[in-house]
Amino acid sequence: MANRIRASVVQAATAAYSLSDTLDKLERLTRVAKERDGAQLVVFPEAFIGGYPKMSNFGMSVGVRRPEGRDEFVGYYNAAIEIPSPTIARLEGLSRELDVFLVVGVIERDLGTLYCTAVFVDPVQGYVAKHRKLVPTAMERTIWGRGDSSTLPVLDVNFRKPQSEELIAKTKISATICWENYMPLLRTFYYSKGTQIYCAPTVDARPFWQHTVTHIALEGRCFVLSACQYAEEKDYPAGHAVTDDPERSPNNVMIAGGSVIISPLGKVLAGPLLGEEGVITAELDLDDIARGKFDLDVTGHYARPDGLQKGAAILKNCVPHLQNLFSVISMASTSTTPTKTSTTGLMDKVLTYTPHSQLPVSTTSSPRRRKTRSEPQKGGKETVIGKQMHGISSKKRLESSGRTIYNVSRPSQAAEASQRQAFRQGTLGREVRRPLSSLSKSSMVNASEEKMAGMGDVSIGSGRDTPCAVAGLALGEPSLSGLVRETSWTTVMDNMFEEFIDTRQCL
């Protein structure tokens, strides 16, 4: 098996939104690719059938849709095609007659919604699949709907010798439209499905686009066939919006082209074609794909799903809780003068957010220690978690607030450092190191009412949860593995960092 095919990319514009004229143009250019260059695969640009309405705003601004814009949309709507339709049948006939596989950008009409779509037409099977653009870009979202996962085909395509059943190549073909190519997960999806000929219909004529498609070819170790429109003002209906209305001219460029064919090792095989309509063609040696995979297969030997899955799990658990974590740290740091009478309520998740950049950095020997902004006075007490409630004189009023009220006393700095070190060495607090998920709320309250030698006193107001269980609840995760009780705020924070995750990875 030769394992080589010839592929062409067409650079041309829609014929002024005229469906019949555009189909005639498509047929003419496909014949050029076949008869002049011997193409077996031909790729057309984004929105070639139906048109790309460059510079149109369809009479829209925020909060306003003008009647003239609705009238303009009627013309655009009528230029779109349905699938199936006589237009698709004509593409099937052309593909069969010339024995070429077609990938064509169209504007698809499905009931009342338009989609930017690429259709795949096989010379033997006819229409086989379509791909709808997942995310229209910017103003495109006002005229096109969004595709979904039901139209993400990677097609197995067989190429045979002309007028023969002899197989010369088997390959996998996909299409990714314009700025979909900036969606890393979509690219990775196609790589994981083994795409080998990565078609990229577009209207992005910026010089940067060449870097984009070269990167994709190198990253995916696939052939990239990027087909861009080349359009001038004369290719649009009369009165269509233009870049500079006072300087209208039929030859003013609207879309500048830049169609290109790139190999799996980043070599430009044809193009980029600039400043004119035309057809570019290259021979694709499909063995180049294996040559490229030799040292880079981003969904195979060059992938690290084990590391990425761990990272994803960390983020999944960490990100939803970071705001609450920052809030707890923030509120524990706001009081500069600890008092014995201040009481605090369990956070109700409506808390002030403090960015990590504003949190103080630890100056102790432990890399996981983060100091609060307020330094405790020797032997004093410090309010640690929740919304401060001052001047409350009755337990009934505390209970009516629906919050847990408690005080936490704090030892001297020297005693605290000694106890924290003992805890880290496992000689202190071992008897209360149990997963929160294994305890009932009542047992948490009971545990919190105990005293630990040298750690200070703990008192509960109208309690439902313990001061140390707050560490888990403040993160929104009462089931997190951690200590059931600690009376030192610093030890609670140390445990939060050590038992949950190494928080530095998330901050």
Token pair of 383 as six digits: 């309010």
Tell the burial category of 286 from Cβ atoms under 10 Å away from its Cβ (0-12, 13-18, 19+): buried
Give yes or no for a contact between 460 and 443, defined as CB atoms under 8 angstroms apart: no
Quote the CA–CA distance of 125 and 144 in Å, as a whole number.
29
Give yes or no for a contact between 274 and 226, defined as CB atoms under 8 angstroms apart: no
Give yes or no for a contact between 171 and 286, defined as CB atoms under 8 angstroms apart: yes
46 is catalytic: yes
Quote the CA–CA distance of 69 and 409 in Å, as a whole number.
69
Question: Which residues 6+ apart lie within 8 Å of 199 measured at CB?
Answer: 43, 103, 118, 173, 174, 175, 176, 225, 227
Question: Of 35, 46, 72, 499, which residue is the catalytic one?
Answer: 46
Q: Are strands 155-160 and 167-175 parallel, antiparallel or unpaired?
A: antiparallel
- φ, ψ (nearest 5 deg) of residue 442: -65, -40
Token pair of 131 as six digits: 């791909």
Token pair of 91 as six digits: 């593409």
Which regions of 359-440 does DSSP assign to beta strands (E)?
387-389, 405-408
Q: How far is CA 62 from CA 65, 114, 145, 242, 261, in A?
A: 8, 21, 18, 21, 40
Total residue length of the chain: 507
Quote the CA–CA distance of 205 and 169 in Å, as a whole number.
32
b (16+ CB within 10 A) / e for 233-265: bebbeeebebeeeeeeeeeeebbbbbbbbbbbe
Quote the CA–CA distance of 484 and 465 in Å, as a whole number.
10
Q: H helices within 389-507, ranges in order?
A: 395-400, 413-424, 441-448, 469-474, 489-495
| DSSP bridge partners of 173 | 155, 197
Question: Which residues 6+ apart lie within 8 Å of 110 measured at CB?
Answer: 82, 83, 145
Instruction: State the sign of the Cα–Cα–Cα–Cα dihedral 351, 354, 356, 362.
Output: negative
Catalytic residue numbers read: 46
